[in-house]
Amino acid sequence: MLATPSAAVAVRTGSEVSLWSDDGCRLPLDAPRWHGEPSPLEQRLVAALEGPVLDVGCGPGRIVAALDRLGVAALGIDPAPGAVVLARSRGAKVLRRSVFDPLPHEGRWRSVLLLDGNIGIGGDPLRLLARCRELAAPHGSIVAEVQGPGQRTQCCRARLVGERGHSSWFQWAVVAADALGPLAAGAGLRVARLHCPTGEQRWFAHLVPAGNGPAVEG
């Protein structure tokens, strides 16, 4: 199964953890966020999603649980047993699976989520986006969190480093907002919306199958 930051961090609640590439660069990571309740920004994002929703790399399941409270059908997947245990303890419906494993309802998910940098899963964003396109319904969307424009886009080996040691190396990627368009096109998708909510430092892209509807920026 593919390793993800949420997989390793999920069993280290409360510890200080950072993500480093094999060339010695610190990569974007906000591990404490995964163990809390959704922020007001995330609550607005979740409320706008059309179900059923598949949360890829769901970690401790906070987004899946929030969707459930709203009455939106949702499923989380994560390859880490610790993450799955934590997610299920908060009532989230979660499977221990990689996104590249066979999954329920393939081609019928109205929303597929790649939040908290999970567009990096597997270290190959093009392959990941193509897989998410297979999972999404014909008129569904993929919501991916990316880094801001002008930041470095890279595919690399990475590992988590914390107070209790470090994880094994795994394949990871970081994608900047202004590098997403060509990747999406290669996966048969296009960027329908790319936005950074006012007062926030987080960028979100809404991707749809190429040819579906007009693009909206901002």
Domain spans of the chain, in order of start: 5-211
pTM score > 0.85 for this model?
yes
Per-residue model confidence (pLDDT) at position 176: 97
Domain 5-211 falls in which CATH fold?
Rossmann fold (3.40.50)
Per-residue model confidence (pLDDT) at position 33: 82
With CA atoms as reference, report the closest residue to 13 among 32, 28, 27, 39.
32
pLDDT, tens digit, for every residue of 15-63?
A: 678 899 999 999 988 877 877 889 999 999 999 999 999 999 999 999 9
Structure-block tokens of residue 137: 């319904």
The conformation of residue 103, written as its DSSP 8-state character, comes to -
Per-residue model confidence (pLDDT) at position 30: 84
> Who wins on pLDDT, 164 or 74?
74
Which ranges of the chain does DSSP label H, i.e. alpha helix?
A: 5-9, 31-34, 40-47, 62-69, 81-89, 125-135, 180-186
- Binned at pLDDT 50, 70 and 90, residue 81 comes out as very high
Say which residue the tokens 């926030």 belong to: 200
pLDDT, tens digit, for every residue of 140-153?
A: 999 999 999 999 99
- Binned at pLDDT 50, 70 and 90, residue 211 comes out as confident
pLDDT of residue 7 exceeding 80, the answer is no
Residue 89 to residue 189: CA distance in whole angstroms:
35
Single-letter residue type at 86: L
Kindly report the average pLDDT of the chain as a whole number: 90
Residue 136 to residue 141: CA distance in whole angstroms:
7
Structure-block tokens of residue 85: 């245990």
> Who wins on pLDDT, 2 or 198?
198
> Who wins on pLDDT, 17 or 192?
192
Three-state SS at 36: coil
Angle at 138 between CA 135 and CA 144, to 5 degrees: 55
- Measured in residues, the chain has a length of 218
With CA atoms as reference, report the closest residue to 32 among 111, 116, 93.
116
Cis before 149 (ω within 30) = no
Per-residue model confidence (pLDDT) at position 199: 82
Residue 69 to residue 28: CA distance in whole angstroms:
29
Percentage of residues of the chain with pLDDT beyond 90? 76
145 contacts 115 by C-beta, under 8 angstroms:
yes
Please list the residues that pair with 143 across neighbouring strands.
113, 206
| Lowest-pLDDT range of 27-31, 96-100, 157-161 | 27-31
SS3 helix, strand, coil % of the chain, rounded to 5?
A: 30, 30, 40
> Who wins on pLDDT, 33 or 190?
190
